[in-house]
Structure 1
């Protein structure tokens, strides 16, 4: 019997958002519980977002998975 816990991950793809997706990202993070993560899918590495996440108490892991596709997994500290 396995006791391994599978983390719940919500996904938010902002590649087709017109304008700045910051508010959508922050709203999505508000709905993430302590045991969940948010996977942000973007067409570029959202470097300006990292300082905001750190200030708000989140940690993140970024990975470029294709030429114009980045996955940033964000978790509460």
Structure 2
């Protein structure tokens, strides 16, 4: 995971995760501090994740960047 210190955005590119990335995503969410955000980079829109995010008190914005690239920016509510 990388961090953009100027923007307070941590980035997790789950395309690079071997196997199921769910636990990596949950760990990254747990590491968010203060007003930081987490940008997930994925090859598809992770619709099943949205319900989990809402249940855990996060809001999100999804944007398709390219044919097989989605960015989902997550922040605590």
Query: Under a length normalisation based on structure 1, what TM-score does the superposition of the two structures give?
Result: 0.88
3-state SS of 2:72 partner = strand
Number of residue-to-residue matches in the alignment:
72
The question of 1:66 aligning with 2:66 is answered yes
How far the C-alpha of 1:17 sits from its partner, in A, is 1.7
Pairing of 1:1-77 with structure 2 (within 5 A): 7-77=7-77
How far the C-alpha of 1:16 sits from its partner, in A, is 2.2
Query: Under a length normalisation based on structure 2, what TM-score does the superposition of the two structures give?
Result: 0.88
Contact 1:7 1:35 in 2 (8 A): no
> How big is the alpha-carbon RMSD for the aligned residues of Structure 1 and Structure 2?
1.1
How far the C-alpha of 1:7 sits from its partner, in A, is 4.2
Larger radius of gyration, structure 1 or 2? 1
Q: Matched residues in 2 for 1:48 and 1:54: separation? A: 11
Give ranges in structure 1 of 5+ residues lacking alignment: 1-5
Give the equivalent residue in structure 2 for 1:3: none
Give ranges in structure 2 of 5+ residues lacking alignment: 1-5
